[in-house]
Chain A
Amino acid sequence: MIFYITASLDDDGLNQLRSLGEVRYYPLAETKSLLGGSRLVRALEGVDVFITEADNLKARELEQLTSLQIICSCRGNPVNIDVQTATTKGIPVIHTPGRNAEGVADLAVALMLMLGRHILQAESALRRRDPAQEMTMMARVYFDLKGTEMWCKTVGIVGFGAIGRKVAARLLPFGCQIIACDPFVEEGVMAEHGAGKVDLDALLAASDYVTLHVMPNEANRGMIGKREIDLMKPTAYFINTARSALTDEAALCEALATHQIAGAGLDVYDKEPLPLDHPLMKLENVVLLPHIGGNTLEVTTHQTQIVVPDIVRLIHGEKPHNIMNPEVLGNFKFRR
């Protein structure tokens, strides 16, 4: 069997696949090159398993691929794959929910610390000080940039899936109180992870930090709008490392510009990269990042540990843990 791999996998995973067949490994991280259209079709001729992260495999390409048996998209939401056409062709599509969970959870906590301790402003004061007024700078930092600790702060986690739970685990040792809202997670499960279950309005009203960890869909589009922001404390910080579609960006920007809330840490925007002339760019109470949440070296290991065991399960006739189209499994048998 032939594996064609353009996603990054670690050596353990690659060796496991090599024990099963021929591995053609051209990771995007090294090639910096995407495959699409007729070139993708040519590359996948005779290939049994395609493991990708960013190449677009759509209906036109899928219709021409006769040997392909398994598709793996190393993304939480495999938008690069036409899952419907794959389903029609009886091809299982594996995905990797949670591959970014550690990295995004780290970043959410980092943003909280940066905001609470005014790290960007303090660093800027040190670098850009006037040599003739060093004591003035020190006094300004001492009086104006006094920070807040995470100790005894209430952190509201919106969405208590893989990432939300990892955020909670990181924050509990700081002495934070964790509250969370998620209609799909029971109170007992939240309690096991040290969080109290509340509804969204109560969370917004009680939290010193509100952090979003929700998978966007049509039902939750704009779930944090003006009404919700109005419920937040004036001292509260808002963190979004999930998706901008969950918020009303204009309402958030207005609340930040008027200091209705204390600040925000943002990694996602309606338009990316955030335009240089965007009003958010002018605000000092916002930490702005260019969508780096899941961009860590360790994601390679995480996605390997998710995707390789699922491939092995499918080859052995077992049910994979992370499949987008489980309805194909009834008729699926891997051809060796």
Chain B
Amino acid sequence: MAGFETKEDMAKVITLWIEKMKADPSIARRCKGVNVTMGYEITDLDFAFHTDFIDGVVDGGLGEADPPSKVFLEMESATFDGMMTGEVDAASAAMSGEMSFSGDMSAAMGLQALQEDLTRMYLEARE
């Protein structure tokens, strides 16, 4: 399972990923009516970022969101990378303690419909 060597390496991929999401009409269409903000804390790199899906508008950025995200995920960079590439099952990662989840459960479930698109764009950003 690949992770990232440095915070800067990961920041490059995440920035590109967010840009791709913001420009993608499919995600915008699918998140119509959705209101989920996700905060990520990557513990091994001391790195935070957030992705926001608010009624058809996608946004995000590096650092913590203001106001704070509704859902927070904490994990190492390799676990995040594995979850996004499909190598790591999110439920199993949560049960094993590799990933911790805080926040609004129903909001997080609202993102399930976007997962395929998120993965596709993450893989593109990672290439």
Contact = CB atoms under 8 A, between A and B. Distances in A.
Interface in A6-55: 32-40
Nearest to B91: A272
Contacts of A221: none
A79 B91 CA distance: 12
Contact of B105 (A32, A40, A56, A58): A32
A241 B122 CA distance: 39
Contacts of A80: 95
Contacts of B103: 33-34
B97 A33 contact: no
Contacts, number: 47
A187 interface: no
B97 A34 contact: no
B113 interface: no
Contacts of A36: 72, 74, 94, 100-102
Contact of A79 (B41, B95, B100, B102): B95
B80 to A, nearest CB: 13
Contacts of A129: none
Contacts of A32: 104-106
Interface in A91-108: none
B97 A40 contact: no
Nearest to B103: A33
Contacts of A34: 101-103, 105
A61 interface: yes
Contacts of B104: 32-33
Contact of B74 (A37, A59, A79, A82): A37
Interface string B71-98: 0101000000000000000000011110
A40 B72 CA distance: 11
Contacts of A170: none
Contacts of B72: 36-37, 39
Contacts of B41: 37-38
A35 B103 CA distance: 6
A79 B92 CA distance: 11
Q: Which of A33, A40, A60, A82 has the most CB of B within 10 A?
A: A33
Contacts of B102: 33-37, 39-40
A56 B101 contact: yes
Interface of B: 41, 72, 74, 94-97, 100-106
Q: Which 8 A-B pairs have the closest CB atoms?
A: A58-B97, A37-B100, A36-B100, A37-B74, A39-B102, A36-B102, A36-B101, A33-B104
20 contacts: A32-B105, A33-B105, A34-B101, A34-B102, A35-B102, A36-B74, A36-B101, A36-B102, A37-B101, A38-B100, A39-B102, A40-B100, A40-B102, A56-B94, A56-B101, A58-B100, A59-B97, A60-B97, A60-B100, A61-B100
Given A36-B72, A38-B100, A56-B95, 8 more contacts: A33-B105, A37-B72, A37-B74, A40-B102, A56-B94, A58-B100, A60-B100, A82-B97
